[in-house]
Structure 1
């Protein structure tokens, strides 16, 4: 946290023309960087809590300073910028894009649509063992919702060959009342229009689950993977009338991804 504050101060001072701070900011920016971009295609629930499945796609974007190689990454990792990278410990900024949730699906017809938007926040990860990574993300909603959400994942990984890796582990997610209200709440007016029971959620645990992947390093910059995820909605999400009356607590995801890493110097 202290490093984030120092970086922010240096950046602001540099904008006002301070020669000392400009030098410090340039020193931090200079060096070797990497940018990983790609895409993920998956079969997943139509919306959170839905029992209907559709195909969708999401981008893969990761930016950071080169040096210590990223030992492990997961398709669950959202867009991230590492500001601290000590090999066994990384931390920085991250974000997530959220698609609009329309109310044209029969199960949620009559509910207010959820606007497209995003989530911004931070992440940290560390390796308690050579073959295990623990990662946590905390993000605040922008436009789509005004809540806070936190995701925690633990992954064990094993290299079957230098190019093929198996990985997997548990997942846990928490959210605030404002998040649940946007995606799981049903107001009096919405209840009258949709036929669902009125529901005013609080905050708490969102889901528990497990995920796994097979990753193939096709070449040095190109990586592909196949993955599967299962999550069980809990707490305010499971208690929602959307889930109880027309959806499912069991959420499955199956998909594939491909990414390309660009190395550059500033």
Structure 2
């Protein structure tokens, strides 16, 4: 399973509900550490039509409103003005293995062998930034990341809007977030993951393809967070992407995978 898309989904979906819960409990100005454990079902690689179910551990920390860090990377909010905020990102793209071994954390599903012959895409250090705007129950975010060292040197990003609210479960508040999103990337990023050269085509049996930049996917994300105690919460999410443009038309997707990508998961978080 490719970790980066899954980590990105978990962070981007969970953040709106976590932010809404924080609004109701009051802001914490000190250090908070969250240890998470859960089960995630996701495609083995972006574009695959086979799924793996995996036990997924994570740890994240935040310091006040400005600093957040997790396995996905580090995010610092430099500007906070009324309903606006903006900041920088230092992230890591975990890349893609052509023949991944089965992880000890995998519960079901086999590691995909679809990409043998394409070679690995090495992990990449990325730098970038984000802008967020929130007004009442609406939260929006634009994020950009540029590869600077590793398997790709491209630019990619995501724009999303979510509606946040709460409802009661057994007389206790539960927080939800739901909304659309779109991802995009330039030629360099898409080429690293979706090009198939003549040599790769011979080795893999996948038709040659030259991917360009543009809109990569559009979709919908939803999550629910239910506090179980002062320090513990339960989070469930579902995420759907429809691959489109040059990514959706890639021979990797058309011949070995699917344009429909679904990720689901449930997590228990402990924050202290």
- State whether structure 2 residue 215 is matched by structure 1 residue 205: yes
1:223 paired to 2:233:
yes
Partner of 1:177: 187
2:234 and 2:74 mapped to 1: Cα distance?
17
Q: Quote the offset at 1:174 in angstroms.
A: 0.5
SS in 2 for 1:231: strand
Aligned to 1:132: 138
In the other structure, the counterpart of 1:80 is: 75
SS in 1 for 2:203: helix
| Offset, 1:79 | 4.4
Cα offsets for 1:22-69 (capped at 9, x unmatched): xxxxxxxxx9444443346411100010011113436353534349xx
RMSD between superposed Cα atoms in Å: 2.7
Q: Match for residue 65 of structure 1?
A: 64
Find the residue that maps to 1:106 and give its secondary structure.
Answer: coil
Larger radius of gyration: 1
Alpha-carbon separation, structure 1, partners of 2:86 and 2:209: 37
- The question of whether the paired residues in 1 share the 8 Å contact of 2:65 and 2:77 is answered with no
What residue is the counterpart of 1:167 in the other structure? 177
Equivalent position to 1:54, from 52, 55, 58? 52
- How many angstroms does 1:217 deviate by? 2.2
Segment drifting more, 108-117 vs 95-104: 95-104
Q: Which moved more, 1:117-126 or 1:44-53?
A: 117-126
Structure 2 SS opposite 1:108? coil
Contact 1:64 1:82 in 2 (8 A): no
Cα deviations by residue, 1:128-174 (Å, 9 ceiling, x for unpaired): x3011001111112413111111111110111146301210001000
Aligned to 1:238: 248
Distance across 1 between alignment mates of 2:222 and 2:235: 10
Task: Note the alpha carbon deviations across 1:53-89, whole angstroms, 9 max, x for none.
Answer: 113436353534349xx9xx9x9x9742222233522
1:97 matches 2:95:
no
1:252 alignment counterpart? 262
The equivalent of 2:155 in structure 1 is 148
SS at match of 2:248: helix
**Residues 225/87 of structure 1: CA separation in 2 closer, same or farther (3 Å cut):** farther
Whether contact under 8 Å (1:137, 1:152) holds in the other structure is yes
Distance 1:140 1:34, change over 3 A: same
Contact 1:63 1:81 in 2 (8 A): no
Unaligned runs of 5+ in 2: 1-27, 100-111
Aligned to 2:24: none
Give the match's secondary structure for 2:114: helix
Q: TM-score, normalised by structure 1?
A: 0.75
Task: Name the TM-score, length of structure 2 as normaliser.
Answer: 0.74
Stretches of structure 1 lacking an aligned partner (at least 5 in a row): 1-30
Shift of 1:186: 0.6
Contact kept? 1:80, 1:94, Cα under 8 Å = yes
The equivalent residue for 2:119 is 112
